[in-house]
Amino acid sequence: MKTDIQIARECRLEHISEIASRLGIPAEEIEPYGRYMAKVPISLIDESKVRKSRLILVTAISPTKAGIGKTTVSIGLTLGLNRLGKSAAVALREPSLGPCFGMKGGAAGGGYSQVLPMEKINLHFTGDFHAVTSAHNTISAMLDNYLYQHRKEGFSLREVYWKRVLDVNDRALRNVVTGLRGDGVVSETGFDITSASELMAILCLASSEADLQQRIENILLGITSEGKPFYVRDLGVAGAVTVLLRDALNPNLVQTTEQTPAFIHGGPFANIAHGCSSVLATKMAMSFADYVVTEAGFGADLGAEKFFDIKCRKTGLQPRLVVIVATTQGLKMHGGVDIADINEPNIKGLREGLKNLNRHINNMQGFGQPVVVTLNRHDTDLDEEIDLVRRNCEDQGVGFAVNEAFLKGGEGATELAQVVVDTIERIKPLPIHYAYPENDSIEGKIEKVCKRIYGAAAVEYTKTGTKRLEAIKAMFAGDKAVAGYPVCIAKTQFSFTADSTRYGCPEGFTIRIRDLIVNSGSGMIVAIAGDMLRMPGLPRSPQAERITIVDGNIEGLS
């Protein structure tokens, strides 16, 4: 079988000005990065067109080590819509270098359903991740310098929340000590991965350059010795940080394997952040296409919940339909089948695994959304297995289609595209039913997500979690803005629980919240559940061992 890179090299690439022209964007309006990538200025967003465009959210069952292929389906659905004669574009997140060189390899789709040029998108792309990393660490340097320069005046921070970031998986940097040997103020700190930076969330939620700067000003850095919050605006460097992010604010335009327009912008993870591409990229796509496909990271309990409760709530965006991606292999693993046996027929395991799918279906319907399930087909799938999933979806009252975009490109996704179009035309837009009211308490919001979405029986707080919760409530008492913040729960993507080994559809479990963080720039409360880490480590055999250059070509990204 050909690799993703081999397939990508077979595909004809059009100059990025041609892709822009196909959308109705004049060539002089874009800022090309070479021949096949470009930045598109946010001034081209047209809110009147945004309101008329049909937004489709692609999410998935809880992921497993077998993989799901959500990005491949998102791109394939866009290809299928174009095959049906629809004006369609896709809006996706940018891949992170950490996972690309760590566990996943490339993250630009797969087979004949990719965004191109895949090597550049998977690596440095247009430099957005580097800009976020530099901007974040500039704040860290400025904060350390402020503490150093003002120490003789008695200024200090009792708690420092702002760490540093890198776009690598490096467990050794999770906890470090800085300022040794008199080089500044000695302090314990650490590194998160760039995708977990609040600046990444801010970039993806900002509505304009002015909004970007205001959000940066509002970033909470720590608590002074007098117990008062200390913000980036107190450093006086928000303007400089905004300058570093100015170019990164504009969405990136590329193309698919079939020259369909694709906007790739922003990259927060859904297990430690809100897991959606930028609002600006979504609105840019909706300004120029009648149908826009976007995805939310990992399973629907993570990315999709945050898409609704954070992204849609704060921006007014509203999808017309949700597509849930599943595979027979993933369903079998949720049904207790060992990964070594998932390509073998196992109707019993598949039927048990459907419970995971059905909880996700019920959750999306709970948000008031029409649902279509697509089975991302593999060559080992049997007709009997596909029919079982189809009948299950009929029993759940949702649409169903098989997706074969990986092998066939847009032709393999026309069935899915037709079901999506028919469903959107049949059902009028429905209001979003959020998981919790905006004015609920912090613990009330967390409890509703844990119980209604995850299926937990109870929520508990560690001593640290309880202490942090009480401190936040005391510090921001009477602050209406903070009171209205949505919650962003950081937990494992592999399970409805906070235990990554509990596949399927567990019940009667408890979610333990061990820490809470106020992200006042992005406007959310991050609650960390279980052993979730904001700096991943590398596996025993990282993907980097297989990435190299052969005869001038990059190999091993897929």
- As a whole-number percent, the residues of the chain with pLDDT over 70 amount to 99
pLDDT tens digit sequence for 225-247: 999 999 999 999 999 999 999 99
Q: Which two tokens stand for residue 311?
A: 């992204």
- As a whole-number percent, the residues of the chain with pLDDT over 90 amount to 87
CA atoms within 13 A on the CB side of 29: 18
Edge-to-edge strand list for the sheet holding 524-529: 458-461, 510-519, 524-529, 487-490
Residue of 536, 461, 546, 443 lying closest to 493 (CA atoms): 536
DSSP letter for 296, please: B
Q: Where are the beta strands (DSSP E) in 366-507?
A: 371-376, 399-403, 458-461, 487-490
Residue of 78, 35, 74, 77 lying closest to 58 (CA atoms): 74
Domain boundaries, the chain: 30-124+252-426, 129-247, 442-529
pLDDT tens digit sequence for 130-144: 999 999 999 999 999
- Model confidence at 276, pLDDT cuts 50, 70, 90, reads very high
Phi and psi angles of residue 161, each rounded to the nearest 5 degrees, phi first: -95, -20
Coil/strand/helix, residue 265: coil
What burial class does residue 340 get, using C-beta atoms within 10 Å of its C-beta: 0-12 exposed, 13-18 middle, 19+ buried?
exposed
Coil/strand/helix, residue 402: strand
Q: Please, what CATH class does the domain formed by 129-247 belong to?
A: alpha beta
CA atoms within 13 A on the CB side of 55: 28
Coil/strand/helix, residue 26: coil
475 sits in which H/E element: helix 463-475
Coil/strand/helix, residue 470: helix
- Model confidence at 478, pLDDT cuts 50, 70, 90, reads confident
What burial class does residue 520 get, using C-beta atoms within 10 Å of its C-beta: 0-12 exposed, 13-18 middle, 19+ buried?
buried
CA atoms within 13 A on the CB side of 367: 30
CA separation for the pair 78, 290 (Å, rounded)? 11
The contacts of residue 464 (CB under 8 Å, 6+ apart) are 514, 515
Q: Which residues of 210-222 are buried (b: 16+ CB within 10 A; e: fewer)?
A: eebbbbbbbbbbb
The pLDDT score that the predictor gives to residue 105 is: 67
- Claim: this prediction has a pTM higher than 0.75: yes
What burial class does residue 549 get, using C-beta atoms within 10 Å of its C-beta: 0-12 exposed, 13-18 middle, 19+ buried?
exposed
Residue of 316, 312, 292, 314 lying closest to 303 (CA atoms): 312
Phi and psi angles of residue 496, each rounded to the nearest 5 degrees, phi first: -65, -25
Contact between 530 and 498 under an 8 Å Cβ cutoff? The reply is yes
Q: Which two tokens stand for residue 241?
A: 């940080």
Give ∠ CA 122-123-128 in degrees, rounded to 5: 100
Phi and psi angles of residue 398, each rounded to the nearest 5 degrees, phi first: -125, 160
pLDDT tens digit sequence for 146-196: 999 999 999 999 999 999 999 999 999 999 999 898 778 888 999 999 999
Contact between 428 and 479 under an 8 Å Cβ cutoff? The reply is no
Phi and psi angles of residue 194, each rounded to the nearest 5 degrees, phi first: -55, -35
DSSP letter for 400, please: E
51: left (phi over 0), alpha (psi -120 to 50) or beta: alpha
How many Cβ atoms sit within 10 Å of the Cβ of residue 457?
A: 13
pLDDT tens digit sequence for 290-336: 999 999 999 999 999 999 999 999 999 999 999 999 999 999 999 99
pLDDT greater than 80 at residue 104: no
Q: Where are the beta strands (DSSP E) in 93-249?
A: 109-110, 113-116, 157-160, 164-166, 176-178, 187-189, 191-193, 220-224, 229-231
Coil/strand/helix, residue 480: helix
Contact between 321 and 423 under an 8 Å Cβ cutoff? The reply is yes
Q: Can you name the CATH fold of 442-529?
A: Formyltetrahydrofolate synthetase; domain 3 (3.10.410)
The pLDDT score that the predictor gives to residue 9 is: 85
- Model confidence at 10, pLDDT cuts 50, 70, 90, reads confident
What burial class does residue 334 get, using C-beta atoms within 10 Å of its C-beta: 0-12 exposed, 13-18 middle, 19+ buried?
buried
Q: Which two tokens stand for residue 203?
A: 């970039």
Can you tell me the mean pLDDT for 48-56? 97
The pLDDT score that the predictor gives to residue 556 is: 84
The pLDDT score that the predictor gives to residue 257 is: 97
Residue of 74, 73, 42, 199 lying closest to 131 (CA atoms): 199
Q: Where are the beta strands (DSSP E) in 298-452?
A: 321-326, 371-376, 399-403
Q: Can you name the CATH fold of 30-124+252-426?
A: Rossmann fold (3.40.50)
pLDDT tens digit sequence for 363-400: 999 999 999 999 999 999 999 999 999 999 999 999 99
